[in-house]
Amino acid sequence: MEPMTPEQFGAQIQMLIEKQNLTREQSYLLFRELMLNQQSPLQQGALLAALTAKGETVDEIAGAWQAIDEFDTLHPDQLPDNLFENSGTGMDGFKTFNVSSAAAIVGAANGVNMARHGARAITSRCGTVDIMEAVGIDVDCPVSQVADSICKAGIGLFNGMSPAVHPGGLGRILSQIRFGSTLNIAASLANPARPRQALRGVYSQQMVTTTATVMAKIGYQHGMVVYGSDAATGLGMDELSICGPSTICRFQGEQQEQFSIVPEDMGLVCRRGDEIAACHTRQDEIRRFMQVIAGTGRFSACEEFVSLNAGALLWTAGKAADLKQGITLAQETLSSGAALNKLQQWVTCQNSHAEAGLERFERVKKGACNA
């Protein structure tokens, strides 16, 4: 397939500027140009900005995902059944404790096969990949080793900005832009394992039902899309919130159910935003993460934050009858030490040098739990 000329590519951007929607095929071809780096950086940035300003349609996001999946994603061969993923899109207004990583570990400790797909920090201080690397996970390993970890430990992490996972345009573009765009949704969906169940957080309330519709359209069987907020500031987060209302869309195929909750509905206390906000330094963030996973009780708000989001994961994955039961199960998983044991097993399995990874894990655990 021949690349578009700059004039052809620019004509499509002009359509977006004029508020015209693209078909899925048009979006697919435009994002193919981005993944293969066949247009100038100015043209690529203009496409993302124009599409975001117009407001993305379901077909436009699906076309972008298809291009990323086909042209910039390596897929492993051997994977277990019933894969589940949880992730946030990033680019939200309120930067929090890395709750999705902790919730995934709790999910794996309860028998959910977690195929994670995350990134290094872009707008936050410490992203999913940064946290897991710090505690001993090999985040730059090939997709085959991630798949092996999922098979053996029930959890693995594909680094969304690694050339070992996305060898072309994805990491290049995401490392250079600082606004929420179609790529934040489409790229988070471009999991090399192609799971069919998910809990996904989005960066704006307007994207909740749209993202659920996209997920069903590209092959997800069921899942939950969420957007939380901090009641005091009104800022949003791509997670269920422990300090304000959350909007939820559950879907099963094309069937959707949308509702809102507040922490009190789940028997939880509404917390202050500063109790779950990101730490000022990466070192503090990593120490707090390990303390929460270990169930030390030193950061009760963060533990409740994890339990709420892990509870939603367990409910969606069929391990709990409802959200309240999922929260209780997650709380027990943290306090019993099962989550910490699962993290240690994960370090052993997703590592080119398991001894070095375990040494780092033990060092971080000792520093956190003895602090």
The sign of the dihedral angle between the CA atoms of 94, 221, 161, 102 is positive
pLDDT of residue 122: 59
Tokens of 151: 């098979």
pLDDT of residue 41: 94
pTM: 0.94
pLDDT of residue 171: 81
Nearest to residue 192, comparing CAs of 166, 171, 213?
166
Does domain 6-71 fall under CATH 1.10.3720.10? My reply is: no
d(CA 305, CA 366): 23
Contact 117, 195 (CB under 8 A): no
pLDDT of residue 258: 97
d(CA 270, CA 274): 12
d(CA 73, CA 57): 23
Instruction: Give the residue ranges of the chain where pLDDT is below 70.
Output: 121-125, 371
Distance of CA 335 to the CA centre of its chain: 25
- The full DSSP string for 257-297 is EEEEE-GGGGT-PPPPGGGTBPPSSHHHHHHHHHHHHTT-S
The 3-state DSSP composition of the chain as helix, strand, coil percent (nearest 5) reads: 50, 15, 40
Fold held by 83-161+195-347: Pyrimidine Nucleoside Phosphorylase; Chain A, domain 2 (3.40.1030)
pLDDT of residue 93: 77
* Strand-pair category, 222-229 with 236-237: antiparallel
Nearest to residue 200, comparing CAs of 218, 183, 222, 225?
225
Contact 40, 2 (CB under 8 A): no
Where on the phi/psi map is residue 134: left (φ > 0), alpha (ψ -120 to 50), or beta?
A: alpha
Where do we find the tokens 């533990």?
A: 303
Q: Where are the domains of the chain?
A: 6-71, 83-161+195-347
